[in-house]
Amino acid sequence: MSTGMITSAKNMLENTELNKNNNNATMQSDQTITFSDKNKKREVDEKNETIIKVKSVIPRQRQELLKWYGWGYKDSTFKLSDGTTFFTGDRYIISGKSLPHAQQWVKEIFDIDLTIEPRQPKLPSSFPSSRLPNNIKEELEKISLLSTDGVDRLIRAHGQTLHDVYNLRNNSFPRIPDAVIWPTSHDEVEEIVRCASKHKFVIIPFGGGTSVSGAVTCPANEDRPIVVLDTSEMNAILWLDKDQLLANVQAGIVGQDLEREMRLRGFTVGHEPDSYEFSTLGGWVATRASGMKKNTYGNIEDLVVHTKAVTPLGVIQKSCRVPRLSCGPEWEHIVMGSEGCLGVVTEVTLKIRPLPPVVRYGSLVFPDWESGFYFEREVAKQRLQPSSIRLMDNEQFRFGHALKMEQSWGGVLLDGLKRFYITKIRGFDPLKLCVVTLLMEGKAEQVAESEKKLNSIAGQYGGVPGGAKNGEMGYTLTFVIAYVRDLALDYGVVAESFETSVSWERALALCRRTKRAVREQCARRHITHYHISCRLTQTYDAGCCIYFYFGFKTVGFDDPVHVYEQIEQAAREEIIASGGSISHHHGVGKLRKKWYTNTVSEPGRRLLLAAKEALDPDNIFALGNMAFDQYSPAVKSKL
């Protein structure tokens, strides 16, 4: 590991939107939102709290900036031209750069004719008529901004599953929302929910639209009008307590906006999921999200101090702001992970931290997956994890190499020397070696000590330093990988990721068996051109999170998405049989609900439905995620 790069925090994204001056934030000193009803009269000056109005990077008309048919920014995409692959735009570390190894990898793995010009999908011009009655529309318009425009409705009809994107590109959703409404405050959400309860229409909460579980997809058989409650206008920082290191924030704020505003004031939230550029605080709470830097800052359940959520039967919130409360079951955890099926999270009080003075990347190369795995296990045993520590298998390492940028002669020479040392002198097999990427944060002496200890442990398992630049590339490419799927679909490849959590003693067998299950499923369908890889992304005392990436060439299949789903389902069955979970942080949604009851037990399922009856008896939030599709107001007495 190189002594490497020491920077002030956050070089992870070269996103020009994140580098804007403080003119995006304006201050209002005459308003505050206090913690509970009992404290509403507390003076603003007591904590010097002011509302920070946030100018979001993402506009209300999302299609002006973001792709309507896939992931991310419109100006950021993989392009093939004259035998060269490059990534457009200027937001990421590989933007504007040539990727000389990409096409060779694609041809070897998928056997695709890259000379064929892909057909780009066109934004639909016709949409199903809105079912929202005029009287309800007029009532809602008195509360908040409302739209029944077809494009507004289509863009909020889905998340980012492969199935969603395929339906989007083919304009084949069986159901889209009938209207979109943009509340700006908790009080407006309460009014909207009361209106829904009165008129019995459905509400689907919508944040960043990054769900990969089908959670926000409209139920196809829902006959009632569906109104999407878009939280993006609820993105203010209501107060910031620099002494207590807490912030009270509206739940619609996007991750990159939240982090930018905190950094302007010398703080960080530190919650950085792969989707953090586009996902929202409320979405993190609703799915029990995890971030890449959870070792330092915690998962979302570790960051949240208090939530406020609107349900049809009232507002769920605690009456005091304390670090811990022994008061029976923690009802906040009923909301956390509820995936929008019980109500709308409107405000969150969460922990913040001072910006770390030093951020350093690193990487380590191991002779094989097992060596890297046991290194990570030992690091976890000693609780020496840096902010991020991730292990890529050989297949994913080679995929990462395919996205390597064209460099100056000095960079090429350095890479050549490293390659010679690793493969010739150390004897690592290029078809077996694996890489661990590291992100260390803290004071200079803490980072230096962490680096020293990690190097020492790595040596015990045959690991050698791979350099800071490789560590930085490995970390930042996480934000780019999602763009690959759009290019893949353009050229007839379907691809997706899925994840799990598993105990340490079962992890190696789970990875081996899951890959074998995918290969067997491909062989049965005569699929010869496919990619299956995995990486270990988060570590705990009791286990780890494993990500799998799978894609295949679709030639010969009339419904390739269905074929993919069959193969992924077989992989999930193997994961569960090998001791893994149905999800570490993506959530259950509609994609994984068939395994919900077996995961939580029959009493657990009944408890979930009892919560539905207690908070949303008329099924206003009728998303049908987890086991909520089994709930019906007509059978309430049986629960």
Per-position DSSP letters for 266-288, written without gaps between them: TEE-----TTTTT-BHHHHHHHT
Domain termination site, one of 525, 550, 577: 577
CATH of the domain at 639: 3.30.465.10
Same domain, 610 and 573: no
Same domain, 193 and 57: yes
Cβ–Cβ < 8 Å for 365, 375: no
- The reply to whether 14 falls in a domain is no
**For 245-286, what is each residue's pLDDT tens digit?**
999 999 999 999 999 999 999 999 999 999 999 999 999 999
Same domain, 443 and 528: yes
Please confirm, yes or no, whether 596 is among the known catalytic residues: no
User: What does 418-446 look like in DSSP terms, one character per residue?
Assistant: HHHIIIIIS---TTT-EEEEEEEEE-HHH
- The reply to whether 498 falls in a domain is yes
**For 371-419, what is each residue's pLDDT tens digit?**
999 999 999 999 999 999 999 999 999 998 888 886 533 344 446 556 6
CA-to-CA separations, 361 to 227, 357, 364, 435, 632, in angstroms, rounded: 45, 14, 11, 13, 52
Among the listed residues 497, 615, 524, 544, the one whose alpha carbon sits nearest the alpha carbon of residue 381: 544
**For 233-245, what is each residue's pLDDT tens digit?**
999 999 999 999 9
Domain of residue 557 covers 358-577
C-alpha distance across the termini of the chain, in Å? 57
Query: What per-residue confidence (pLDDT) applies to 115?
Result: 85
How many other CB atoms are there within 10 angstroms of residue 292's CB atom?
23
Lowest mean pLDDT among 22-31, 316-325, 369-378, 610-619: 22-31
- The reply to whether 388 falls in a domain is yes
- The reply to whether 292 falls in a domain is yes
Catalytic residue (one of 475, 483, 547, 596)? 547
- The reply to whether 45 falls in a domain is no
Lowest mean pLDDT among 48-57, 159-168, 350-359: 48-57
Cβ–Cβ < 8 Å for 201, 225: yes
**For 76-85, what is each residue's pLDDT tens digit?**
999 988 778 9
The pLDDT of residue 43 is above 60: no
With a pLDDT cut of 90, the percent of the chain lying above it is 79
**Average pLDDT, stretch 199-211?**
97
The pLDDT of residue 62 is above 70: yes
The pLDDT of residue 572 is above 50: yes
Cβ–Cβ < 8 Å for 293, 537: no
**Average pLDDT, stretch 86-113?**
92
- The reply to whether 144 falls in a domain is yes
Domain termination site, one of 551, 577, 603: 577
Cβ–Cβ < 8 Å for 347, 249: yes
Same domain, 463 and 506: yes
> Three-state SS for 7?
strand
Query: What per-residue confidence (pLDDT) applies to 405?
Result: 80
What's the one-letter identity of residue 293?
A: K
Same domain, 535 and 477: yes
**Average pLDDT, stretch 89-107?**
92
What's the one-letter identity of residue 246?
A: L
User: How many residues in total does the chain contain?
Assistant: 639
Same domain, 487 and 461: yes
Q: What's the alpha-carbon Rg for the chain, to the nearest Å?
A: 24
Among the listed residues 501, 592, 626, the one whose alpha carbon sits nearest the alpha carbon of residue 163: 592
Query: What per-residue confidence (pLDDT) applies to 430?
Result: 86
Q: Which helix (H) or strand (E) holds 227?
A: strand 226-230
What secondary structure letter does DSSP report for 59?
-
The pLDDT of residue 13 is above 90: no
CA-to-CA separations, 638 to 609, 613, 615, 626, 632, in angstroms, rounded: 10, 11, 16, 19, 10
Same domain, 388 and 347: no
Same domain, 242 and 284: yes
- The reply to whether 77 falls in a domain is no
Same domain, 148 and 235: yes
E strand spans, 293-444: 304-311, 314-316, 344-351, 353-354, 358-366, 388-392, 434-442
More confident position, 431 or 409: 431
Look at the chain and report how many structural domains it folds into: 2
CATH of the domain at 503: 3.40.462.40
Tokens 């893949």 appear where? 488
Same domain, 177 and 211: yes
Cβ–Cβ < 8 Å for 317, 294: no
- The reply to whether 311 falls in a domain is yes
Cβ–Cβ < 8 Å for 568, 549: no
CA-to-CA separations, 151 to 210, 269, 611, in angstroms, rounded: 18, 33, 35
Give CA–CA dist 631/22, Å, rounded.
48
Same domain, 344 and 439: no
Domain termination site, one of 577, 604, 629: 577
Query: What per-residue confidence (pLDDT) applies to 210?
Result: 97
Cβ–Cβ < 8 Å for 376, 544: yes
The two most distant CA atoms of the chain are separated, in Å, by 77
**Average pLDDT, stretch 32-51?**
45
Same domain, 256 and 377: no
Give CA–CA dist 511/518, Å, rounded.
11
